[in-house]
Amino acid sequence: MNDRKVILYIAMSLDGYIAKENNDISWLNIVEAPNEDYGYGKFVQNIDTVIMGRKTYEKVISLGIEFPHKGKKCYVISRTKTGFDENVEYYSNSLDELIADLKNIEEKNIFIDGGAEIVNELLKGNLIDEFDISKVPIFLGNGIRSFKNGSPVQRLELVSSKSFKTGLVQLWYEKGEVEIK
């Protein structure tokens, strides 16, 4: 097995939400700044595979922008859709098997692009190697939680942190040991 890593790269509100109840993510605009991508450009240079949930994919498509992962192998996890479209392959089998298969291929890292359902399943399987979390300076009060209840206890090791003038703070963690309680 190689050093290929599964990396969650995600932005969330200070109170832990990735979207409002209606999947609205317009609040992310509060940290937009000229010539600032918060390291995303560098991050995507080291990935070649993307995994996301169907709802996340449909949200991205609804934005009317060019699909941001063109040229990368992209899996959309879905219980209802199968096959391919112009951007992705739909996948409905075991996430454990998909990750194991992908990690056995000598390639770049694997980007987990949400959503909460997929992240929760990956956490349950202890399948995420790194967590790159951007905290946006806003309280949403409710919405779609980044991390759902029922995930196993897992210690993370802080690798680094960085703050920006917009108030956004990035935290980089590597997975530690799973604690049984």
Domain that holds residue 57: 6-26+50-107+115-178
Give a yes or no: residue 57 inside a domain. Answer: yes
Q: Total structural domains in the chain?
A: 1
Task: Give the per-residue pLDDT at 145.
Answer: 92
For residue 133, the domain's CATH number is 3.40.430.10
Does any domain span residue 165?
yes
Backbone phi, psi, residue 4, to 5°: -60, 130
Asked if residue 39 belongs to a domain, the reply is: no
Residue 155 counted as domain residue: yes
Tell me what pLDDT residue 63 has.
86
Question: Mean pLDDT for each consecutive 10-residue tract of the chain (181 residues)?
Answer: 87 96 92 95 95 92 90 94 94 94 93 91 94 98 90 91 97 81 56
Domain-located, residue 35: no
Q: What is the reported pLDDT for 19? A: 93
Give the model's pLDDT for residue 178. Answer: 61
Alpha-carbon torsion, ordered 117, 120, 126, 131, to 10 deg: 90
Structural domain includes residue 134: yes
